[in-house]
Chain A
Amino acid sequence: MNDNDILIKTCCDVFESLSFMFGEPIDLDEVESEAETFIKVTISYKGDRAGAINLIVCAETANSLAYNILGIDEDEEDLSIESAMDALKELLNTICGQFMTSRFGDEPVFDLSVPETKIISPDEWQGSVNSGDFLAVNIEDEHILIRSIME
């Protein structure tokens, strides 16, 4: 498997394990979203190699992921945007940890940063889609973007 295959597989496996939501890879030209708010999460790592992983999801998907991860019924409790962001950070932290082992094995030692979140606009989302740098995953009819950057 190449790096992109490993990243997509890891991403889908972690989504399934942590949030019980099933993802499948799609082509970038299939990506669409009418959302008005998106959240970009970034984690970086350093060690034998250095790099970063970015994940972009719309706010609504972030909420669904958080509800599933926390095991809360959407009708029972309102979740804050901070809770959704915290859930996304944990998702990416887990994806990154698993990706590092799948990609580099369990011998090298890496330090992972604390994931950072940023709200981005639909234009920035579209710019990321158009850049061609990201991989896309369809998760319950919502599209998310993920990419790995290695130095």
Chain B
Amino acid sequence: MIEIRIHGRGGQGGVTLAKLIATSRFLQGLSVQAFGLYAAERSGAPIQAFCRYSEEPISNRNLIYEPDHVIVLDPTLVGAAIVAGLKAGGWLLINSPQPPEEFASQFARNRLATVDATAIARDNNLGTRSVPIVNTALAGAVGRMLAFPLHEVCAALEHLGFKGPNLTAATRAYEELRLLESPHDVGPPGGLAAPADERRGPSILEGAGASLPALKTGQWATEQPQRRQMIPPCNHICPAGNNVQGFLNALAHDEPDEALEILLRTTPFPSICGRACPAPCMEACNRIEVDGAVNVRQMERYAGDHGQVTTEPLAERDERIAIVGSGPAGLTAAYHLARFGYRVKVVESGPEVGGLLRSGIPEFRLPEDVVAREIDRILGLGVAVETDHQIDRQALLELARDHDAVLVATGLQEQRDLQLGMDGTEAVVQGIDFLDHVHRGDARVDGEAVVVIGGGNTAMDSARSALRLGARSVRVVYRRSRQEMPAIREEIHEAAEEGVCIEMLTQPVALHEAPGDGVRRRYRLTCRRMELGEPDESGRRAPIEIPGSDFELACNRVILALGQSPDVSVFPDGTEVRENSQLLGLLETPLFAIGDLATRDGTVAGAIGSGRRAAVHIHNVLSGAQVRISEHADALRDVDVWSDEVIRADALKLHLFERQPTAEGDSLSMAARRSTFDEVHMGLEDASEAARCLSCGVCNECDLCCTYCPEGVLKRVGHHLEFDYAYCKGCGVCVTECPRSVIFMSHL
């Protein structure tokens, strides 16, 4: 009977090599055994495997103490211990690129053989480059060493399902094996396997593992967890660039002041946006997939209305900056630049600071005192303002000469017209102008039948204002359908609730005077029915006239709210006015257009974002700073990887969240809504809605990972999440349990 001992490392295929040798003999009709020594072996740990073969049935059920031959799969294992018990004259086969002569002096009593099985395995793509599997190659080497014909080795390989590259490797090793036949001397076997230990071991009272060394099981891991932060969709889409996750997280922790402070890093108008923003964040909110979006708008309002924060400039600088226009874009730029420490002057053509913030949004949506409060915060930073000061082309050049930077934020001044035939008369008024009169308190529509043409916020605001001022009827005429109306969804809904009649798919064609009734002027508005065709350049389906569908609406007034366009006459003819584009390039002074003038975006949030981007840019240019604008929520805690990916609902564990519908808050009674300009939305009484935020892709310290770690190698210390990588085996339970995909497995 022949006995062979194999030394290797876990993962190199030592046990399988034993089986291959055994199988090659079994196929020749011998009796065989193949087994490994099992204990705490794992990838990379030293292991032993054994093989016996004999012409006679094998009745030896013991371990192998005096092998006839020894095979070593990994040259780093070579040492005196590997020949313990090896019979004198037995073969020692080592996987090594060195010739057997190199080992002759160390192993004088044995025949030596070497082959570079590692190189052969790599050449045949067996295993990986860092962990090549050498056993099939060595099977070939063993065959040659023990004088088996190559075909018997190959038969064994094929019998066990090893094909192609394994056969090639075995054949090559068979051929390339280098042998050193004669041992230098023959003596008794040295270093027998340790005799059975007859001494008493430790008592259980000492702890049976007392003699075991600490096992740094972290070495077992092939991948380990790390923390990443992704971008929540709300942060990504917010036109103002707010850290939505951040302020919601602060509110959820009952910190309205901190919430406001976070908002004020980007926007000076939380109370305003909390009332007037179309809230694209809510449309992108991943919580929609659970039970409804988080009411971010109401939460921003809450933070703006209840938080207490003092804002001060962060520095004092000498540079002077002029801003033309005090709408939301201009004021936001002023706010940020003043905070950076610059000396800012805002020039406003109208009588009031705030532009459309004052007059363009009626009181019942945006109360006067809210606007005043937020504008005062900006002025409190030391921003100087000149009202009733129109800037023309010449004046603009002077501003550029006298200041270190100029921003033009004049918004959209030109209002679109519709050639109905009575333009310029009392019959027709532009929506913006109408709202301005409403704001000043001198709009009169008592008892009138009012027709509003348009589908945007101005149309809705005009309609709802007219209703409150006592109009007998208010009808909105819009040429596409409800889906295409650009106004905020909720606004359309509220207008209809209040009694505004909305005529969809209706195009006004002509306006004629009708016989008066002695009280007021009367008009006939000819309208034509429309249907929707293919989308046009705006992306919306184009309205197509239905011939012969004309009808008439009687009215006392027509309000046009068809949208606006920028007045670029202050710039030289042919100037391309858009964001980021240095205007009046011959001047050295940085001069940019911001807000609706540059983007035509039409929302307060968009204007805020534009103003802030410009302010940061100007600051970087003037001071050499490198302030960057990021969509990431600020990290309060360590993050290993900042991912720029926006996290969607499919990456969240939605089933972990308890169902709770969106809190909407109360509204004013319908009677009051129809007759007063009191604010319709009463806001939410508390910030519990903020706790519905899923904190997508941003760690909010819920600690589920720590709770579920089966090894107890994960704990949070303050804001720092500590992974004990010395013991983390990379099981990945923390990854599975994190509801918001903050933890991921990183390959080692």
* A, B co-complexed: no
